[in-house]
Amino acid sequence: MTGTPTTPTLTLVHLYPREMNIYGDTGNVLVLRRRLQWRDLPVTVVPVSVGDPMPADADILLGGGGQDAAQGDIGADFVGRGAELRAMADDGVVMLAICGSFQMLGHEFVTHEGRRIEGVGVLDVVTHGQRERLIGNNWVDTAGELDAGRLVGYENHSGLTTLGSDARPLGRTQTGRGNNGRDRTEGAVRDNVIGTYLHGPVLAKSPRFADELLQRAYRRRGADVELAPLDDTLPLQAATVAAGRPR
């Protein structure tokens, strides 16, 4: 489908693009923008850094992972946006939070030294740090959890995340370690809010997941937009190769 005068312009918010952009997570913004542009559907991208106002018309919010120092740089600003982020989640805004952003959407992160870092409580998850890192390609089956098929991404984190009763996993790991290396869960979902440890960027090798996020954004706007098929041969080939490489 191509855009019509009544097709809403989707506003993609890129949260902390300079500080939280490790392992190519900015690519998730590029993937969504290009998949809309290839279909002649209108889109705008708004970067939001420390101190910047959040656009009132946000449709999809994307946050990446960052080094520990970077998370410290944006921590106070992120927590200060807590009420706003919770209201956006309650209003159905689509959110994709990777690694550090995922952790900060939870209730808290406890470092391996025992220091507690406050989260914003959008997702019912708690993360505890450890010295060992969970590293490698991860193949995740979302069957029964989210209509996104197989997801392939790269994990590199030392936080062990546990889901509470109000969060469900994004999927189950087929390879890789997932949230904590114990229960095979990967990520967390609450309504239109999705957290995951999959870098890569994950949407570049998971086109069905990318389109699911776009469809959710359109449905929230009350727009009946049918996404025209795209040639996803290359991203699916990349996913197959990555899934076969443990590191």
The domain that contains 189 carries what CATH number? 3.40.50.880
Rounded distance, CA 35 to CA 206, Å?
Answer: 12
Query: What is the model's pLDDT at position 3?
Result: 55
Q: What is the DSSP-derived secondary structure letter of residue 145?
A: T
CB 209 within 8 A of CB 194: no
Please indicate, yes or no, if residue 218 is contained in any of the structural domains: yes
Mean pLDDT of the region 63-70 = 73
- Among the options 14, 112, 157, 199, which is catalytic? 199
Query: What is the model's pLDDT at position 195?
Result: 97
Q: Is 157 a catalytic residue?
A: no
How large a percentage of the chain has pLDDT more than 90? 63
pLDDT exceeds 90 at position 95: yes
pLDDT category at 1 given cuts 50, 70, 90 is low
Query: What is the model's pLDDT at position 4?
Result: 59
Cβ neighbours for 55, distance < 8 A, ≥ 6 positions apart: 11, 13, 46, 48
pLDDT tens digits, residue range 183-231?
Answer: 889 999 999 999 998 998 999 999 999 999 999 999 999 999 999 999 9
pTM to 2 decimal places: 0.93
Query: What is the model's pLDDT at position 137?
Result: 85
Please indicate, yes or no, if residue 5 is contained in any of the structural domains: no
- Among the options 14, 99, 112, 128, which is catalytic? 99
Cβ neighbours for 4, distance < 8 A, ≥ 6 positions apart: none
Please indicate, yes or no, if residue 2 is contained in any of the structural domains: no
Please indicate, yes or no, if residue 202 is contained in any of the structural domains: yes
Query: What is the model's pLDDT at position 71?
Result: 62
Please indicate, yes or no, if residue 188 is contained in any of the structural domains: yes
Residue 72: which domain range? 10-244
Range from 28-37, 144-153, 214-223, 238-247 carrying the lowest mean pLDDT: 238-247
Please indicate, yes or no, if residue 170 is contained in any of the structural domains: yes
CB 16 within 8 A of CB 229: no
Please indicate, yes or no, if residue 3 is contained in any of the structural domains: no
Please indicate, yes or no, if residue 156 is contained in any of the structural domains: yes
Longest CA span, the chain: 56
How much is the mean pLDDT over the chain?
90
pLDDT exceeds 70 at position 144: no
133 is in an annotated binding site: yes
pLDDT exceeds 60 at position 2: no
pLDDT category at 138 given cuts 50, 70, 90 is confident
Query: What is the model's pLDDT at position 243?
Result: 73
Q: How many other C-beta atoms can be found within 10 angstroms of the C-beta atom of residue 37?
A: 12
* Total domains in the fold of the chain: 1
pLDDT exceeds 70 at position 145: no
pLDDT exceeds 80 at position 147: no
